[in-house]
Amino acid sequence: MGLRSHPLPITMLLKLEGITKRFGSLVANDHIDLEIRQGEIHALLGENGAGKSTLMNILYGLYTPDEGRIFWKGKEVKIRNPRHAIDLGIGMVHQHFMLIPVFTVAENITLGKEVTRNRFLDMNEARKRVEELSQRFGLEVNPDDRIESISVGQQQRVEILKALYRGAELLILDEPTAVLTPQEVEELGKIMKRLVAQGHTIIIITHKLKEVLHLADRVTVIRRGKKIATLDAAGQTEAELARLMVGRDVILTVDKEPAKPGKVVLEVKNLHAKNDRGVEAVRDVSFTVRAGEIVGIAGVDGNGQSELIACLTGLRKPTSGTVTVNGQDVTGQSPRRIRDAGVGHIPEDRQKRGLVLNFTVAENAALGDHRAFARRGWLSYQRMVDKAKEIISGFDVRPPRHDYLARSLSGGNQQKVIVGREILRNPDLMIAVQPTRGLDVGAIEFIHRNLVSERDAGRAILLVSLELDEIMNLADRILVMYKGQIVAEVPGHEATEEGLGLLMMGGSASA
Amino acid sequence: MPDQSKWKAGLRAIGIPVLATIVGLLVGILCILIAGKDPVLAAKAFYRAVAGEPRMFGNVLVSTIPLIFTGLAVAFAYRAGLFNIGVEGQYLMAQIATVVVGVWWTPPQGFEWLHPIFALGAGAVAGAIWGGIVGLLKAWKGVHEVINSIMMNWIALFLADWLLKAYLRPDNSRAASYDLQQTAWLSQGLIEGSRLHTGIWIALGTAVVVWIILFKTPLGYEIRAVGHSPGAAEYGGISVARALIITMAISGAIAGMAGSVQTMGLNHRFNETTALLGYGFDGIAVALVGRLHPVGVVLAALLFGALQASSGLMQAMAGVPKAVVSIVQAAVIFFVAAEGLWSFLQRRRAKKEVTPA
Ligand SMILES: Nc1ncnc2c1ncn2[C@@H]1O[C@H](COP(=O)(O)OP(=O)(O)OP(=O)(O)O)[C@@H](O)[C@H]1O
Ligand SMILES: [Mg+2]
């Protein structure tokens, strides 16, 4: 007997009327009306740059709308700042984390609502509460870890816990699952259902349509700043939602020919590496990637993938073992040397690594080989602009402006700039970590096709993703990483979600 | 035009310092009133000291020259995210090097023009070494640049003092080094009756060079990338360590030129120095008010130079205590640094505009 079988009166928790937000001449939100019912899970869908984050930032008091009105529990409110939003009972987990890197997990979660005893911080108590909270919601974190030393996935969990800790009635989740593993996503789904059953309300922004259908009660689709429709989730299909978002039919699976692997491009032998805490995180890893194939690395976040990739790209020194690219030993070399050896890298953390946020798109187009943008020793802005234009038109970056600061692009468009830059560099080996993180279905389709055609053009591609669908769709061979080791190799066409899932949890293939 | 169009950003970059200057001057007027003096008379004195006669303006420029260099030095380092608080030490070491070359090296006949170049070069190199050490320690051992540049200041102070007393002066009745040979002097008399020397051209030239390095060369790209995001710079194949060392060395060289030009253009010797005189802090102020941009630095240096040069006359003519000038400077710095306050006000204004909607 669910609550919902009773004909309860539907109460409106939140109502937006004609919300408009402009950034200069760009209209990010164009007269958006939206109603959120008490106790529902409401999904917000839309292409990259459609204006979803902007709308939610308005709700959270980060931006002031240029026009429009907000009603909270029937009363008109002007949300002045996040503190005000929190006081009203609105919590938000941002697309890009807002954690303090040098603080511990517990400190970050309790920040702004610290646990004190006799006016002093009581960290023991805070730690205990965080542990309790993390157990109650099944989001595993270690309260004493420093944020800078944990993976993006773990940081995401901390963000969610932080909002829960502040006791939000309305929880806004801006792409909370982009970096979670399927198991964690499922777990989060359960948490959300539980929260809703307890009377909370949730707005979730996501690009994963399956999730939407699975979790949400209602769906609102935004396209280019305008609201297209609000629908009941029941009875919708992925394809239909995709069409509403993008305005055309989207092909959700990738067609590809069997791989024709050529010579070995990347060879990793007996690699060992430590993580930031000095614990061995990569243990005796050996594998190869050949020209013309896509090798996927699957695994639960935090099983050594990040450290392995850091070793391959020069961002971390391995403790032993060798890395060879095109027959050239690049073990422990600088990122510069490794790039010069023909390696492209789509990094896990686009804001910390992939872009200089305070540079323009044009300046970012040169990141990685800016010296090639010099002409007789002078930096050529014209070349950077040309490259940026190539990326913008090739990868549909919106708005199409090379003079925009990377900071003011939407998350998905930032990702497109990075992916475009790395692909256009034509590397022999492409190391792609979560290449479609935060992209909309249309853009994912496009990037996937691109990676496959890169493969067919004879490039070697190493794909790391927490997204099993992505790995199974693209990879010709799948390596499963568990506790720092490669525990299995599965041919792409033989992989099943269940089989991989088991292997990723440390089970055996025969099970 | 988008929010962050160049125009708007530029307008804002200029607007804040100008506003801060106006507010700072208002604060100054208030102080003068509180001190019971006549602000109109003070303003007249200020005007006379700055633009009363050409030679007065010349003296303003004389005060401006070292400020341009020290401001540029601080601003340059800041672009890589480094806080060069060691300008003073770099300045002193450069003066010593300039004295050595200026006193003991005699250019061959017909090559006298080489003398100032070498003396200046020696100073720049000394400053670069002094600053480079700071960068090296930061890049290699992670020692925070503020801590070790402060220590380098003290080392420089006592090292210079010892060198002066042990080697650079004829006997201990003299509180200064030997005089530089005349060939190493920068010529004065750009403006009749003032001590303005050709160092002004060197200072302005350096501002242009700094601008070029920062915005027109791959090195500048690296420095700015490191300053904005060391993580992304490292990802992009930029050696963060190398960038830090080079930046500090260049910043030190610029700071050093301040000392050398002062020696070659004005003092013609190294005067006994027993305390840190605050050139470095002036540099920080100028860099801040100039918003870390070479053009801004030049303008801010001019403002501070004018204030410094006029304080004497304001005291003599209007009885304004010299401290008022310091208060005005401090107020300007405060209002520029309080950018948070500014954006806070802007946000409030934005809200007000929305409210009636
Ligand atoms: N501070 C800003 N200054 C200028 N433009 C901005 C700013 N913030 C966002 N924009 C622009 O507003 C539009 C909407 O951005 P928003 O971040 O809301 O998109 P989104 O729907 O969340 O996309 P994504 O799925 O990629 O995260 C984009 O075109 C973006 O470039
Ligand atoms: Mg977004």
User: Nearest by CB to A339, which of B220, B221, B237?
Assistant: B237
Which of A360, A506, A20 is CA-nearest to residue B4? A360
Instruction: Identify the H or E element spanning A82.
Output: helix A82-88
Q: What is the pLDDT of residues B236-289, one digit of tens each?
A: 999 999 999 999 999 999 999 999 999 999 999 999 988 888 888 899 999 988
Average pLDDT, integer, range A152-175: 84
Residue A399: CB within 6 Å of ligand 1?
yes
Backbone angles phi, psi at A92, to 5 degrees: -140, 135
Antiparallel, parallel or unpaired: β A477-482 and A294-298: parallel
Q: Which residues of B touch A373 (CB under 8 A)?
A: 218
Residue B107 in domain: yes
**With 50 as the cut, is the pLDDT of residue A478 above it?**
yes
- pLDDT > 90? residue B4: no
- Band (pLDDT 50/70/90 cuts) for residue A165 is confident
Does A51 sit in the ligand 1 pocket, CB within 6 Å? Answer: yes
Q: Reading across the β-sheet that carries A170-174, which strands appear in turn?
A: A90-93, A170-174, A201-205, A41-46, A218-223, A226-232
Q: What is the pLDDT of residue A218?
A: 96
Q: Which residues pair with A121 in a beta bridge?
A: A116
- CATH 3.40.50.300 boundaries in chain A: 1-89+170-175+204-251, 259-342+427-505
Residue B312 included in any domain:
no
Q: What is the mean pLDDT of residues B132-148?
A: 93
Q: Tell the residue number behind the tokens 């993006």, with chain if given.
A: A152
For residue range A393-443, what is the model confidence (pLDDT) as tens digits?
Answer: 999 999 999 999 999 999 899 999 999 999 999 999 999 999 998 889 888
- Over A324-390, what HEC string results? EECCEECCCCCHHHHHHCCEEEECCCHHHHHCCCCCEHHHHHCCCCHHHHEECCEECHHHHHHHHHH
Half-sphere exposure of A447 (CA within 13 A, CB side): 30
Let me know if residue B21 belongs to a domain.
no
- B70 falls within a domain: yes
Coil vs helix vs strand at B106: coil
Q: B180: closest CA among B98, B94, B66? A: B98
Based on the structure, what is the number of domains in chain B?
1
pLDDT above 60 (res B347) = no
* Residue-level pLDDT at A13: 94
Q: Which of A140-149, A307-316, B186-195 has the highest mean pLDDT?
A: A307-316
CATH number for the domain that contains residue B281: 1.10.3470
In whole angstroms, give the CA distance from residue A261 to residue A193: 46
Tokens of A66: 């240029």
CATH number of A1-89+170-175+204-251: 3.40.50.300
Percent of chain A with pLDDT over 90: 61
* Residue A477 β-bridge partners: A295, A491
Higher-pLDDT residue of B345 and A331 is A331
Q: What tokens were used for A40?
A: 């529902």
- The mean predicted confidence, pLDDT, of chain A is 90
- Is residue B235 within 8 angstroms of chain A, CB to CB? yes
User: What is the enclosing helix (H) or strand (E) of A243?
Assistant: helix A238-246
Sign of the CA dihedral with B310 first, then B316, B317, and B321 last: positive
pLDDT at res. B341 = 58
Nearest residue to A41 (alpha-carbon basis) of A211, A244, A224, A243: A211
Please report which helix (H) or strand (E) contains residue A161, including its range.
helix A152-165
Residue nearest atom 25 of ligand 1, based on CA coordinates: A48
Asked if the structure places residue B327 within a domain, the reply is no
> Is the CB of residue A361 below 6 angstroms from any atom belonging to ligand 1?
no
What confidence category does residue B340 fall into, taking pLDDT thresholds of 50, 70 and 90? low
- A49 inside 8 A of chain B by CB: no
CA distance A134 to A140: 6
- Which amino acid, residue A321? G
Query: Looking at the predicted structure, is the pLDDT value of residue B343 above 60?
Result: no
Which tokens sit at B123? Answer: 């100073």
Q: What is the DSSP string of B50-85?
A: IIISHHHHHHHHHHHHHHHHHHHHHHHHHHTT----
* Residue B319 maps to a domain: no
Cα separation of A105 and A147, whole Å? 6
Q: What kind and span of H or E run contains A90?
A: strand A90-93
Instruction: Please report the pLDDT score of residue B351 as a whole number.
Output: 42
ipTM: 0.86
**pLDDT tens digits, one per residue of A378-402:** 999 999 999 999 999 999 999 999 9
B309 C-alpha to center of ligand 2: Å? 54
CB atoms closer than 10 angstroms to residue A125: 15
- What residues 5-64 of chain B have any CB closer than 8 A to a CB of chain A? 5-6
Q: Which of A307, A319, A318 is nearest to A348 (CA)?
A: A307
Q: What integer is the mean pLDDT of A104-120?
A: 82
**pLDDT of res. A116:** 76
**DSSP category for residue B184:** G
Contacts of A120 (CB under 8 A, 6+ apart): none
Residue that wins the pLDDT comparison between A137 and B26: B26
Let me know: does A124 contact A172? Beta carbons within 8 Å: no
Judge residue A55's burial from the number of C-beta atoms within 10 Å of its C-beta, 0-12 exposed, 13-18 middle, 19 or more buried: buried
Predicted pLDDT of residue B9: 64
Q: Per residue in A238-264, pLDDT tens?
A: 999 999 988 888 877 788 888 999 999
Which residues contact residue B330 at a Cβ distance below 8 angstroms, ignoring those fewer than 6 apart? none
Q: Residue A143 and residue A160: Cα distance in Å, rounded?
A: 14
Question: How far apart are the two ends of chain B, measured CA to CA in Å?
Answer: 23
- The residues, ordered by sequence, that sit 6+ positions from B151 with a Cβ below 8 Å of its Cβ are none
**Distance from Cα A271 to the centre of ligand 2, integer Å:** 37
| B321 Cβ neighbours under 8 A, 6+ residues apart | B35, B315
The interface residues of chain A toward chain B in range 61-120, judged by CB-CB distance below 8 A, are: 64-68, 78, 80
Please report the pLDDT score of residue A5 as a whole number.
Answer: 47
Contact A206, A439 (CB under 8 A): no
Q: What string of DSSP letters covers A403-453?
A: TSBGGGS-HHHHHHHHHHHHHHT--SEEEEESTTTT--HHHHHHHHHHHHH
CB contact under 8 A, B216 and A378: yes
Say how far apart CA A18 and CA A31 lie, in whole Å: 4
Confidence bin at A161 (pLDDT 50/70/90): confident
Average pLDDT (A330-338) is 95
The confidence score (pLDDT) of residue A179 equals 67
C-alpha distance from residue A8 to each of A3, A4, A215, B33 (Å) = 8, 7, 20, 72
- Nearest CB to B232: which of A64, A340, A367? A367
CB neighbour burial string for A225-237, b if at least 16 within 10 angstroms, e if fewer: bebbeebebeebe
Q: Name the 3-class secondary structure at B16.
A: helix
Residue B332 scores a pLDDT above 90: no
pLDDT for the residue numbered A156: 76
Contact at 8 Å (CB) between A374 and A380?
yes
Could you tell me if residue B170 is inside a domain?
A: yes
Alpha helices in chain B (DSSP H): 6-34, 39-47, 54-79, 87-104, 114-141, 145-163, 199-216, 218-228, 230-235, 240-262, 279-289, 294-318, 322-337, 339-354
Residue A237: DSSP 8-state: -
CA–CA distance, B168 with B187 (Å, rounded to integer): 23
Is residue A412 in contact with ligand 1, taking CB distance under 6 Å? yes
Contact A272, A318 (CB under 8 A): yes
CATH code linked to domain A259-342+427-505: 3.40.50.300
CA-atom Rg of chain B in angstroms: 22
Question: pLDDT confidence of B353, banded at 50, 70, 90?
Answer: very low
pLDDT at B70 over 60: yes
A171 neighbors A201 (Cβ within 8 angstroms): yes
Q: Which residues, listed in sequence order, are joined to residue A328 by a DSSP beta bridge?
A: A325
How far is it, in rounded angstroms, from Cα B130 to Cα B86? Answer: 9
Q: What is the domain extent for residue B152?
A: 55-305
Q: Are B249 and B131 in contact (CB under 8 A)?
A: yes
Residue with tokens 């730690």: A127
Give pLDDT, residue A492.
92
C-alpha angle with apex B19: B17 to B20, nearest 5 degrees? Answer: 60
What is the SS3 assignment for B298? helix
Note the pLDDT of residue B357: 27
Identify the pLDDT of residue B3.
Answer: 44
pLDDT value, residue A85: 93
Is residue A143 predicted with pLDDT exceeding 70?
yes
pLDDT at B32: 87
Element at A462 (helix H, strand E): strand A460-464
pLDDT at B321: 85
Asked whether A50 lines ligand 1 (CB < 6 A), one says yes
Beta-bridge partners for A480 = A298, A488
Model confidence at B19, pLDDT cuts 50, 70, 90, reads confident
- Asked whether residue B118 is assigned to any structural domain, the reply reads yes
Q: Hey, of A370, A385, A417, which one would you mutate to test binding to chain B, going by the most B CBs within 10 A of its CB? A: A370
Predicted TM-score (pTM) of this structure: 0.87
Each residue's pLDDT tens digit, B291-328 = 899 999 999 999 999 998 888 888 888 888 888 888 88
Q: What is the pLDDT of residue A167?
A: 76
d(CA B7, CA A391): 25
Question: What tens digit of pLDDT does each residue of A363-380 get?
Answer: 999 999 899 999 898 999
With beta carbons less than 8 A apart as the criterion, state whether B137 and B59 touch.
no
